[in-house]
Amino acid sequence: MTTVAALAAELAAGRSTSRALVEQSLERIADQAGEGARAFLKTYADLARAEADHADRLRRSGLVRSSVDGLPISVKDLFDVGGDVTRAGSKILADAPPAARDAPVVARLRAAGAVIVGRTNMVEFAFGGVGLNAHYGTPRNPWDRATGRVPGGSSSGAGVAVADGMCVMGLGSDTRGSVRIPAALNGIAGFKPTARRVPREGAFPLSFLLDSVGPLAQSIACCAAYDAVIANEPAVPLAALPVKGLRLMLPRSSALEDLDAQVGKTFELALSQLGSAGAIITEVAMPAFDRQDQYFKGGGFAGAEAAAIHRKWSHRIDEYDPRVGKRIVLGDRISGPDLVEIGLLREAYIREVDAAATPFDAILIPTVSCVAPTIDEVSATDDAYFRWNARLLRNCGLINFLDGCAATVPCHVPGTAPVGMMVCGTTLRDRHILAVANAIEGAFARNR
């Protein structure tokens, strides 16, 4: 699977068909040498073939519903698909009644002609950034697969499915990095929109305040195409921004510290490439980024909200992944005054970052401070798991707490460990941030 633009051109020229692309997708998922069995929890093979045939008939009659018409996609297991059970990566919900209708984002994708080939694996109830699932298995990262590295979470299956060519786009959710972490670790693009732009109804929640819905795909332009669909906005091309003259903030803070040697070296090289292309990169002290222990104290908003959401199943907590269950139980300890304090901190944080970001086109930080660790090392002990989880979540969570938007752009040299550069913006700057990320992606491509 290549980009939306390339595949749309193939379809328009009659060199391919939607049915052929779907068959390719299903074959890739079924490949016993690959990760399809762990990346997908369910496939819709017959329905996908029927929808692909319908898309081909419409195209032959001259009707193309959108730029993504006829292209195979996946949806994370927490989205409602009419007639199917939404398990959210858990066995607790395996016997729940089927969804009565598609989630609004799923319905919008169908209306645009997207062909859903299946539901992707995820961390149980989206509660984790590592990507492990104790119930359904963990898909291995395509990079260094023989070693067995984590896919990142919580949209683990989506990241592996897109990186491994099983679909053109994986629809994910992001509460503290669950789109951007797997995108960065798997070497693809991902976009977390401002939460309010994309409806979250019909998606099993982790946090009512911090959840957002976004795409993982091969390029920023692909993400932008799907973002327009799910946000129900006009499908206008991104502004063609030159890298030269872009005003980019480098926030001097803990977000740039304690980086893996590979991440630090790759990020510095990427900054150098942007500078050579004429971008104006300015270091700015950002102490607001150093207070995460206060923003996410005791699990923060998501911890308290998860405890409330899962209260009805508290008598079944032993059936959860123990590491997920522990985090949900901890949420009961967050007091009302704690939440008030966190809310006030968030208001102050948003004001502080908004003021600092105003002169700039975007803020740049590494998406994740490390390359993908091995499944064995993160699974060794609970202490190891929670330490790695915090490390993976660290930078991405800053943007959810900001109520902002961010794209992750692969910035590593092909063949080396995947590293993402996060291009961040404040509330409702989404299309501008996508345009900046697209320009940055182009600059990296010219240097390869």
Neighbours of 445 (CB within 10 A): 10
Active site positions, annotated? 76, 154, 178
Instruction: Give yes or no for a contact between 402 and 362, defined as CB atoms under 8 angstroms apart.
Output: no
Of 398, 415, 399, 392, the closest CA to residue 131 belongs to 392
Q: What is the end-to-end Cα distance of the chain in Å, rounded?
A: 21
Q: Positive or negative CA dihedral for 210, 214, 218, 222?
A: negative
Pairwise CA distance, residues 128 & 60, whole Å: 45
Neighbours of 59 (CB within 10 A): 19
